[in-house]
């Protein structure tokens, strides 16, 4: 049985091709002007890497905020369901899943079978999302990955008082003018995002193991800040930004 | 850096016919906000001079600049002012103030003086916050609600949009009214997300004024929610920079079914006016106590 899972996020579209529970390929593209077209492109590319064509696919499922745009799919599922399924597949001991994407953050609690028990979503405020880091990386004129590494090298904690990204931007500009080290500014930002994410994670309740997924899970600086904010061990899953797409590609267990 | 579209106009004013050398009280109020500062000088409780400036993050420096500008050309010096009260976000850092009083109390008292004693509800939308204040017939605060956590519904959000659309902020309100029909409001609350939404709308071919209208309408929704939570009792006064944005004022009036009172002065000085009135009361109290 060959399945494709497509996760249409605010910034990127991720595709996973799965055959009998084995991942054949995965591919991500930036979401373009035409979401449907971008999704088809991503799927084409993932199929090419797997050496397959559309005809080989038995089932295509879509998740993510823009999932309805992929009208060629057979099935839609929510991000929460897809995350839980994907994380449970990679790490069956996961009971809490924290997913931080470009414009959304969520914390999910699930049982030993990967069934969702409870979840908390933030899709209203950029402060707990990747958009925060992107806007600050622009202000500091560094790439996202470098931003995370800078944060890891910081020796000093500078608090950012503002909760709002827009207000925090002015604070960061003031810090730049005051010649604060870039490392410390980057750390201040990852700490600020982590604080917001920690507050939604605590609302759902933290039960081990705790898996971190989504694009921001790739950012070592952010993960370190989140570890400190939550004071728990966190497990970053493999290819964390593809976990939602993987969950969509997995056949429903029921 | 190109043109800075968010830059709103500064202002300064001196009363043409007030003589202060033989008067009982000369008091001042300085309101130091996150992006602006105002200084107001009162002579026997009457408006004598004021300034309204864009400022930086150094509160003491902002206070000094605003005071200097208000005094400039008035013939008065700082030493002639008998009592000064500081207010606003940076109020504890006003170097020459003898007291600091919260901006909530100052806005209520100032609006009551500027817009008249019929004011019972004050909406103040500043650079980084939005306040809904209820007061009694004496201009004393009875209750208030405030958002200073999120840029949505504050002047900063409008500034971000002015820059995004390359439209001077002073024209945003008028432009937003030049639409054939009201578009649906921008659906994101967060200014960061609203920005991406606006970019998508522009790409989809929306003209700028329609995008501004959609943002104004979303902002009004946000402000009205705050007002409705506290309850609007007439009359309503709108203070702060947003009072100069006709696109917001008109839409808000329609939404809550109430016209806001007008003032001939700069609506951004209400907090400083209140502070200067508190300074007058404090001065008279200290004299009475002698």
Q: What is the CATH number of the domain that holds A4?
A: 3.30.420.40
Specify the pLDDT at position A97.
98
The tens digit of pLDDT for each residue in A61-92 reads 999 999 998 888 889 999 999 999 999 999 99
Going by C-alpha positions, the residue among B90, B127, B121 that lies closest to residue B108 is B121
The percentage of chain A sitting over the pLDDT mark of 70, rounded to a whole number, equals 99
pLDDT exceeds cutoff 80 at A107: yes
Distance between CA atoms of A102 and B196, rounded to whole angstroms?
12
More confident residue, B101 or A71: B101
The tens digit of pLDDT for each residue in B116-148 reads 999 999 999 998 899 999 999 999 999 999 998
Asked whether A98 and A201 are in contact (CB, 8 A), the reply is yes
Contacts of B116 (CB under 8 A, 6+ apart): B235, B261
- Tell me the chain A residues in contact with residue B6 when contact means C-beta distances shorter than 8 Å: none
Task: Kindly report the average pLDDT of chain A as a whole number.
Answer: 93
How many domains does chain A divide into? 2
Break chain B down into helix, strand, coil percent, rounded to 5.
Answer: 45, 20, 35
Query: Does A132 lie in the same domain as A34?
Result: no
Query: Does A139 lie in the same domain as A125?
Result: yes
Specify the pLDDT at position A252.
66
Query: Does A168 lie in the same domain as A51?
Result: no
According to CATH, the topology of domain B121-263 is Nucleotidyltransferase; domain 5 (3.30.420)
Interface of B with A in 203-262 (CB under 8 A): 203
Query: Does A185 lie in the same domain as A111?
Result: yes
Quick check: A124 and B189 CB within 8 A? yes
pLDDT exceeds cutoff 50 at B266: yes
Q: Is A71 on the interface with B (CB under 8 A)?
A: no
Contacts of B84 (CB under 8 A, 6+ apart): B27, B28, B29, B30, B94, B96, B97, B98, B279
Instruction: Give B1's pLDDT tier (boundaries 50, 70, 90).
Output: very low
Quick check: A33 and B203 CB within 8 A? yes
Highest mean pLDDT among A57-71, A127-141, A164-178, B211-225: B211-225
Query: Does A191 lie in the same domain as A153?
Result: yes
pLDDT exceeds cutoff 50 at B50: yes
Specify the pLDDT at position B74.
85
Query: Does A212 lie in the same domain as A163?
Result: yes
The tens digit of pLDDT for each residue in A154-211 reads 999 898 988 899 999 888 988 988 899 999 999 999 999 999 999 999 999 999 999 9
Specify the pLDDT at position A178.
87
Q: What is the ipTM of this complex?
A: 0.85
SS3 A22: strand
In a domain, A83, yes or no: no
Tokens of A242: 């593809």
Average pLDDT over every residue of A130-148:
92
Specify the pLDDT at position A237.
97
Query: Domain extents for chain B?
Result: 11-115+268-288, 121-263
- Tell me the chain A residues in contact with residue B215 when contact means C-beta distances shorter than 8 Å: none
Interface of A with B in 174-233 (CB under 8 A): 174
Q: B11-115+268-288 and B121-263: same fold?
A: yes
Interface of A with B in 27-56 (CB under 8 A): 33
Average pLDDT over every residue of A95-117:
95
In a domain, A101, yes or no: yes
Select from A126, A135, A167 the Cβ nearest to the Cβ of B128. A167
- CATH number for the region B11-115+268-288 comes to 3.30.420.40
Query: Does A217 lie in the same domain as A126?
Result: yes
Q: Is B190 on the interface with A (CB under 8 A)?
A: yes
In a domain, A51, yes or no: yes
Instruction: Give B165's pLDDT tier (boundaries 50, 70, 90).
Output: very high
Host domain of residue A170: 92-236
Query: Does A47 lie in the same domain as A100?
Result: no
Query: Does A109 lie in the same domain as A169?
Result: yes
Distance between CA atoms of A28 and A9, rounded to whole angstroms?
11
Query: Does A252 lie in the same domain as A227?
Result: no
Quick check: B190 and A124 CB within 8 A? yes
SS3 B186: coil
Query: Does A113 lie in the same domain as A170?
Result: yes
Query: Does A228 lie in the same domain as A210?
Result: yes
């Amino acid at each position: 049985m060959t399945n494709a899972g497509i996760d249409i996020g605010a910034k990127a579209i991720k595709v996973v091709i799965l055959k009998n529970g084995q991942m054949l390929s995965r591919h991500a593209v930036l979401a373009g002007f035409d979401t449907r077209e971008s999704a088809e492109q991503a799927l084409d590319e993932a199929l090419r890497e797997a050496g397959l064509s559309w005809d080989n696919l038995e089932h295509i499922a879509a998740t993510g905020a823009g999932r309805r745009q992929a009208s060629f799919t057979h099935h839609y599922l929510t991000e929460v369901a897809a995350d839980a399924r994907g994380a449970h597949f990679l790490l069956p001991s996961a009971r809490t899943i924290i997913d931080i994407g470009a414009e959304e953050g969520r914390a999910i609690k699930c049982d030993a079978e990967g069934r969702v028990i409870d979840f908390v979503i933030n899709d209203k405020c950029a402060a707990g999302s990747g958009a925060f880091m992107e806007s600050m990386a622009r202000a500091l004129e560094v790439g996202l990955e470098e931003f995370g590494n800078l944060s890891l090298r910081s020796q000093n904690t500078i608090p950012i008082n503002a909760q709002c990204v827009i207000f925090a931007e002015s604070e960061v500009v003031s810090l730049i003018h005051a010649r604060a080290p870039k490392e410390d500014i980057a750390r201040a930002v990852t700490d600020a995002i982590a604080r917001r994410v920690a507050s939604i994670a605590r609302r759902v309740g933290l039960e081990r193991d705790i898996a971190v997924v989504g694009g921001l899970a790739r950012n070592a600086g952010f993960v370190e800040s989140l570890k400190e904010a939550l004071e728990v061990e966190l497990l970053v899953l493999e290819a964390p930004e593809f976990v939602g797409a993987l969950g969509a590609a997995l056949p429903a267990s029921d | 850096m190109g043109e800075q579209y968010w830059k709103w106009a500064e202002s300064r004013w001196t009363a043409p016919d007030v003589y202060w050398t033989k008067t009982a009280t000369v008091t001042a109020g300085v309101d130091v906000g996150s992006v602006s500062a105002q200084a107001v000088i009162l002579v026997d409780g009457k408006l004598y001079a004021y300034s309204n400036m864009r400022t930086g993050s150094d509160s003491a420096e902002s206070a000094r600049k605003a005071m200097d500008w208000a005094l400039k050309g008035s013939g008065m010096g700082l030493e002639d002012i008998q009592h000064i009260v500081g207010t606003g976000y940076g109020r504890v850092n006003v170097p020459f103030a003898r007291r600091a009083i919260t901006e909530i109390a100052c806005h209520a008292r100032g609006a009551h003086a500027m817009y008249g004693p019929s004011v019972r509800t004050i909406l103040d939308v500043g650079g980084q916050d939005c306040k809904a204040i209820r007061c009694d017939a004496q201009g004393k605060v009875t209750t208030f609600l405030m958002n200073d956590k999120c840029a949505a519904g504050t002047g900063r959000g409008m500034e971000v949009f002015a820059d995004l659309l390359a439209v001077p902020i002073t024209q945003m309100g008028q432009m937003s009214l030049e639409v054939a029909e009201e578009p649906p409001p921008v659906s994101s609350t967060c200014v960061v997300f609203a920005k991406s939404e606006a970019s998508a709308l522009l790409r989809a071919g929306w003209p700028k004024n329609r995008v501004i209208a959609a943002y104004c309408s979303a902002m009004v929704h946000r402000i009205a929610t705050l007002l409705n939570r506290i309850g609007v009792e007439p009359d309503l006064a709108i203070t702060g920079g947003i009072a100069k944005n006709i696109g917001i004022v008109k839409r808000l009036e329609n939404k809550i079914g109430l016209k806001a009172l007008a003032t001939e002065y700069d609506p951004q000085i209400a907090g400083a006016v209140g502070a200067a009135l508190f300074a007058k009361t404090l001065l008279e109290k200290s004299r009475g106590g002698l």
